A and B are shown apart, each in its own frame.
Chain A
Amino acid sequence: MIYLDNAATTFPKPQSVRRAAANSVMTMANPGRSGHRPAMAAGEMIYRCRVKASEFFGAGSVENVIFTPGCTYSANMVIKGLLKSGDHAVVSDMEHNAVMRPMHTMSEKGVAYTIARTGETDDETLASFRDALRSNTRLVICTHVSNVWGQRLPVERIAALCRQYGIPVMTDAAQSAGVFPINAEENGIDFICAPAHKGLYGTMGTGILIARHPELLKTITEGGTGSGSLSLSQPDFPPDKFESGTPNVPGIAALSAGLDFVKQTGVERIHDHEVKLVTYLYDRLSKMSSITLYTPRPNAMRNGGLLSFNVGNLSSEETAAYLFEKGIAVRAGLHCSPLAHRRYGTEKRGAVRISTSYFNTMNEMESAARAISMIAR
């Protein structure tokens, strides 16, 4: 099988990640509650992972790294922990339902929001965000890279704009963490939500919230933290404030090894490799008359390693099924991002998404191109 569904989760994982997860299961216990060796080993591993993540994302402090069950949960923590009735928020028209559904829920609780249209250029996108700001805007959300179309949005410039007005900025780095450099401190981003299991090569069910201003967030979950146990009130300091219950030790161990893998390989090298692969495929597909490509040719500055297309009059799901018959694993449909599909007129049909990782090769792209050309005949 040629796996080209890495935007859903990277596969395979590096050997070091598999080993780290297995090792944690064999040697570690519940951290932060006991003094025996397996518990202390887990606590030490988690702390080391926090240090790595803090450096990787420019969190400013290890306490600002919060482990979560996933990027979606991280986004919920920010949206529901920060906004209240009477507030206004701005989101891009490329947001995943990880953002749009909690925003919709908050809209039923008196929060208004505006969808800023992304433009053909970063200047146009920035202007849309500027126009959408109101005096009661309390949060601006912009995905870093579209999970459908692969374009990078100018989050850094949007953050600079919002800084002028003192408005916190959250970015969904689901498709960019480990593929594009992103640094909360340097880029002035207040909250970065990221999954562990995509570009960071960890395992599913693990995520991160980088909260440069954790004091702005209320909790959305309370419970045991191993600290201040006499009190029925949740601890008021991070990370304990946001990390109730037993942490996902194997997931964090895998993330820690994944961060090492990405750092050793190099974010730039990973990005260049992935963009090269999708650009090759794009060029091959653009010569096939029955293929519809919706976005411009990828370029390194503006694209991650994914692209979406359709074949003739086939539904995207039919194309994906045909491709899997030929041993190519892709994702079709709406990718949980109806807004992004509406932007390009594919909200009814969906699209076929091909997404790469560092482990994909040019030969695999050639095989995918051949398989698509057979369907496109």
Chain B
Amino acid sequence: MRLERRKNGFGIAAKSLTEAMKMKDIFAKNGIGTTLVRTPNSGKGCGYSLYIKAPDVKKAHDIMRRSGYSPGGEI
């Protein structure tokens, strides 16, 4: 699960819909609103991404690391 720069914000591509929804819940509990959308994928992920607005991305990065994920990338 990695944070990636997308048009109008940042996206997190999930490996499964369950993972995406779990992360959405974790973000929501920490006051970060996300949008779960279907996105094009190369057949490697699950085809769902969480969209985060740019101002929330640093906080999201920290939350992901605390939750045991490796968000990677430069914010």
Select B15's contact among A34, A44, A228, beta carbons within 8 Å: A228
Whether B21 pairs with A227 at a CB distance below 8 angstroms is no
Select B46's contact among A62, A63, A226, beta carbons within 8 Å: A226
Whether B15 pairs with A227 at a CB distance below 8 angstroms is yes
Contacts A35-B38, A227-B15 given: A44-B44 contact, CB under 8 Å? Answer: no
A65 CB → nearest B CB, Å: 9
Number of A residues, CB within 8 Å of B: 24
Stretch in A109-117, A233-241, A265-273 touching the partner: A233-241
B21, B25, B42, B43 pick with most chain A CB within 10 angstroms:
B21
B71 CB → nearest A CB, Å: 18
Residues of B with C-beta under 8 A to A31: 17
A279→B47 CA distance, assembly (Å): 54
Residues of A with C-beta under 8 A to B25: 51
Q: B2-21 interface mask toward A, CB cutoff 8 Å, 1 = contact, 0 = none?
A: 00000000000001111101
Residues of A with C-beta under 8 A to B18: 47, 50, 62-63, 239-240
Asked whether A43 is an interface residue with its Cβ less than 8 Å from the other chain, the reply is yes
Select A227's contact among B16, B36, B37, B38, beta carbons within 8 Å: B16
A143 CB → nearest B CB, Å: 29
A237→B19 CA distance, assembly (Å): 10
Whether B44 pairs with A230 at a CB distance below 8 angstroms is yes
Residues of A with C-beta under 8 A to B16: 32, 225-227, 235, 237, 239-240
Q: B31-75 interface mask toward A, CB cutoff 8 Å, 1 = contact, 0 = none?
A: 000001110001111111000000000000000000000000000
Q: Is the interface of A mostly helix, strand, loop or mixed?
A: loop
Which parts of A181-239 form the interface with B (CB within 8 Å)? 225-231, 235, 237, 239
Select A228's contact among B19, B22, B43, beta carbons within 8 Å: B43
Which parts of A30-49 form the interface with B (CB within 8 Å)? 31-35, 40, 43-44, 47
Residues of A with C-beta under 8 A to B46: 32, 226-228, 240
Whether A40 pairs with B44 at a CB distance below 8 angstroms is no
Number of CB contacts from chain A to chain B under 8 A: 56
A31→B25 CA distance, assembly (Å): 18
A34→B37 CA distance, assembly (Å): 9
Whether B42 pairs with A43 at a CB distance below 8 angstroms is no
Residues of A with C-beta under 8 A to B45: 227-228
Residues of B with C-beta under 8 A to A240: 16, 18, 46
Select B21's contact among A34, A47, A228, beta carbons within 8 Å: A47
A247 CB → nearest B CB, Å: 11
Q: How large is the interface on B (under 10, 10 to 19, 20 to 34, 35 or more residues)?
A: 10 to 19
Whether A47 pairs with B15 at a CB distance below 8 angstroms is no
A63, A228, A231, A239 pick with most chain B CB within 10 angstroms:
A228
Residues of A with C-beta under 8 A to B17: 31-32, 43, 47, 226-227
B27 CB → nearest A CB, Å: 14
Residues of B with C-beta under 8 A to A47: 17-18, 21-22
Residues of B with C-beta under 8 A to A33: 47
Residues of B with C-beta under 8 A to A44: 21
Whether B43 pairs with A34 at a CB distance below 8 angstroms is no
B45 CB → nearest A CB, Å: 7
A234→B47 CA distance, assembly (Å): 16
Nearest opposing residue in chain A for B43, CB measure: A230
A227→B44 CA distance, assembly (Å): 7
Whether A62 pairs with B22 at a CB distance below 8 angstroms is yes
A51→B18 CA distance, assembly (Å): 10
A330→B57 CA distance, assembly (Å): 60
Whether A34 pairs with B38 at a CB distance below 8 angstroms is yes
Whether B36 pairs with A40 at a CB distance below 8 angstroms is yes
A40→B36 CA distance, assembly (Å): 9
A43→B47 CA distance, assembly (Å): 13
A55 CB → nearest B CB, Å: 13
A63, A225, A227, A237 pick with most chain B CB within 10 angstroms:
A227
Q: A35-B37, A226-B17 are in contact. List 6 more A-B contacts (CB 8 A).
A: A32-B16, A32-B48, A63-B22, A226-B47, A227-B46, A228-B44
List 9 contacting pairs A-B, 8 Å CB cutoff, sorted by A: A35-B37, A50-B18, A51-B25, A62-B18, A227-B45, A230-B43, A237-B15, A239-B16, A240-B16
Which residues in A have some Cβ–Cβ distance to B below 8 Å? 31-35, 40, 43-44, 47, 50-51, 62-63, 225-231, 235, 237, 239-240
